[in-house]
Chains A and B, each alone.
Chain A
Amino acid sequence: MDTPWDDAFDNVVTESFARDVEWTKMSSEFTDVGYREGITAGKEAAVQEGFDAGFADVGAPLGRDLGIVRGRSSAILGFLISAPSTMLGVSEEEKDALIAEAREIAAQLGNIRYSDIEPRDLEAEQHAREHLEMDNEEMEVSEEIEERKKMEGVEDMLVRMSAGENVNAPTRPTAEDVLKLKARLGTLCARLGLSIGY
């Protein structure tokens, strides 16, 4: 069976196979290097654009909205405390009730965190899912964001500890709660004859 013809044929096959391997190795090596450097360059080129968009489209308007209602509640509380009940045209008891309400609104507003009301970044979620499906890896998150999440986790833990083990941890407020607090502030202001359009 071992004819020289067969040997020669085998050699040809082996050679071409080796060439294929070599070819694939080289192409993937250079493609990988290109891909890695492309990722870094693409990221650096786009991060500022993303920052500006996040700042203008979400961060600034969302912060301003919450800030304004906090500022208003703080002002109302200060006003109620400093104003004599005769000036408000209410009885002492009514004034105390108004102050308690203003305090409660201000306290609840003060408890709200950015992460409680942050809108979802659907594009980021979609991309994270793709990563999970493709290579079963979680997408890396910016260190700064990660750090903030950890801090909030520690804060939550402290709250749970001080609340005692038997007490359920209070649930985090939501964007809906902000709307409710706005409405309560609006009612309070209307009671004082002040219109704020909430």
Chain B
Amino acid sequence: MVEYFNLESLVHLEQTFYETGYEGGFAHGRIHGLIEGRALGRAKGFEMWEELGFYEGFALMWQSIYEKQARNDDRATNHTRRLLELISQFPRINPSTSDAAAEVDIPKLFRQIRSRYKILCSTLGVRPSLRYSDRSQDRDEVADTGVAESDDRPKNTGVWRVESTAPKPVNGQSFDF
């Protein structure tokens, strides 16, 4: 009788110790997750928006140049406006999976922006920046047909998910009773 009682309370104690440890670990792990996630998110956001910003600044500048020259019904003006329109649709926050904003097809929008930039360049008679045209070369091949492209890709590809970077428990210890 006494033995039985001791075993019960021991099991309960183990659980309590585990839970106390878990709580402390969770709070600490959360700090690490936030720090690591932030570093990755900063880098990714910078990378994407630096490229988009380039197209935006490029379009804005040509817009001012053409305004100054009072050329308004030009083909280039039209492309510039379209390019700026596309960029304005691009999310500046990482749309979370549950969000309605996640319905934007990010890769497609990116391809459209890149190809619109190239079209604008050729209309203006300037060479597209190598920095970006090199990077996007492989993807831009299909950009022009982007609209007609078959839509067999999974939805929500545009949502940047952080892949699990947390290391698995070193010794794979589990807590079984």
Contact = CB atoms under 8 A, between A and B. Distances in A.
Interface of A: 26-27, 29-56, 58-76, 78-79, 81-82, 110, 114, 118, 121, 123-124, 127, 139, 141-145, 148, 189, 192-196
Interface in B30-82: 30-62, 64-65, 68
A31 B41 CA distance: 33
Contacts, number: 304
Contacts of B55: 67, 71
B139 interface: no
Interface of B: 13-14, 17-62, 64-65, 68, 92-94, 96, 124-127, 129, 131, 160-162, 164-170, 173, 175
B5 to A, nearest CB: 17
B14 A26 contact: yes
Contact of B32 (A39, A78, A82): A39
A26 B55 CA distance: 62
B30 A55 contact: no
Nearest to B56: A68
B29 A39 contact: yes
A31 B18 CA distance: 5
B28 A30 contact: no
A118 B44 CA distance: 12
